[in-house]
Structure 1
Amino acid sequence: MKYAKIVTLAATLLVVGGGLAACSPDKGTSESSSASSSEVTNASSSTTEAVTGASISDKADVIEKALSADGNWIVAVTADVTFDNDLTVAGEFHNKGEDSEDIYRKLALYAQDDKRVVTDEYTLTAPKVIVESENFNIVHGTVKGDIEVKANGFVLDAAKVEGNIVFEKEEYKTSAVLDKEGASVTGEVTVAE
């Protein structure tokens, strides 16, 4: 029985690791986000492993830490997750966790199969998500709650926001992309200043 668990965990890590190895930010290609975002594969919803600098979990405390300044460049949610308090995305991260790569950070609210077809989307619920990381992308899924953006390069990629988005400065709003691959916001999009 113990051997079967080890084999299952090893197989899951191999599949997740293979999907993460091919990942890169969209650089203007015409592929859909499900084809170009290979970071997430179907993984057990209780698996929390660091694979190629990623954090994969369905636990609120793990996701909160992974999105902090001490976290990871990519965070993959494997089920709906709810936060009682505001959630802060902080720190500077680079694509693939490599300092030589572009500044980039991703929150993946979806699962995909081995052909990179999105198979499920998840909902992150929080009173407010505060974005302090530059070039932060929310890919697929739904954010229920408001988002406050305090950095350049914020992107919604095939994601939905059921709430308002407030940019701290006009510069941050100008640099944002809120409609990539059909992304949408149900609330108001405003600038605080």
Structure 2
Amino acid sequence: MRKKLTFALVIVLSLFLLAACGGNTADESQQETADTVTTASIVNEKEAFKEAISTDGTWIIATLNDLTFEEEIVVEGTFHDGGNSENKIYRKIAAYAQDDNYNVTERYTIKAPQMVIKSPNTRFQAGIFEGDIIVEANGFTLYDATVEGNIYYASEEYQKSAEITEDSEVTGEMEIQ
């Protein structure tokens, strides 16, 4: 855990150093907006996770541990792969740790009564979600992950555009609500 926290701190400090040395004359509010969209959010606390999945969050959210919420959580906003608006629309929740060769070394559990997916092309990868997922956007993907609960789609369109990979598991129902 200490190694992961140190890694996250190094990334954050590196980003601040790059921003400080960049020589960019953009005002502070413009710089802050760019950072919230283009950088990954590595989180280990509930409030940081909720902020990262919000419309003001980031395109990729990586957890460093299990997280438990008593309330519904909502993934919303439109983001692009790598934070670059020229790339395809994409959002990723990475509930796992990996080694230098990208092998999953640990899977984390996110627990909430419901997780509502409003961001298009959201991928929940390699972790465990305990609760129900409500899909209200196109392109939802469950990739090498487990849902201990149901997946409800707000429309047939959202269900048809979703992908549940073969290495994923849903213990409950998958249906249009």
Partner of 1:164: 150
Matched-pair contact (CA < 8 Å) for 2:38–2:59: no
CA distance in structure 2 between the partners assigned to 1:151 and 1:185 by the alignment: 19
Partner of 1:29: none
Unaligned runs of 5+ in 1: 1-7, 18-49
For the structure 1 residues 9 and 127, does the alpha-carbon distance in structure 2 shift closer, same or farther, using more than 3 Å as the test?
Answer: closer
Alignment of 1:172-187 (within 5 A): 172-178=158-164, 180-187=165-172
Alignment of 1:16-95 (within 5 A): 53-95=39-81
Question: What's the TM-score, normalizing by structure 2?
Answer: 0.80
CA distance in structure 2 between the partners assigned to 1:187 and 1:9 by the alignment: 36
CA distance in structure 2 between the partners assigned to 1:13 and 1:51 by the alignment: 16
Matched-pair contact (CA < 8 Å) for 1:109–1:138: yes
Superposition CA RMSD, Å: 2.3
1:116 alignment partner, one of 96, 102, 111: 102
Tell me by how many angstroms 1:11 deviates: 8.2
2:134 alignment partner, one of 129, 138, 148: 148
Report Cα offsets for 1:161-183 as digits up to 9, x if no partner.
000111000000000001x2501
Give aligned-pair identity as a percent. Answer: 44
Partner of 2:29: none
Partner of 1:43: none
Tell me by how many angstroms 1:12 deviates: 3.8
For the structure 1 residues 142 and 9, does the alpha-carbon distance in structure 2 shift closer, same or farther, using more than 3 Å as the test?
Answer: closer
The residue type paired with residue 168 of structure 2 is A
Partner of 1:190: 175
Tell me by how many angstroms 1:141 deviates: 1.0
Report Cα offsets for 1:114-143 as digits up to 9, x if no partner.
111111110000000000000000000100
Tell me by how many angstroms 1:152 deviates: 0.3
Question: What's the TM-score, normalizing by structure 1?
Answer: 0.74
Residues matched between the structures, number: 152
1:99 alignment partner, one of 82, 85, 89: 85
Matched-pair contact (CA < 8 Å) for 2:95–2:128: yes
Does residue 131 of structure 2 align to residue 131 of structure 1?
A: no
Matched-pair contact (CA < 8 Å) for 2:75–2:119: yes
- SS of the aligned residue for 1:147 comes to strand
Partner of 1:13: 11
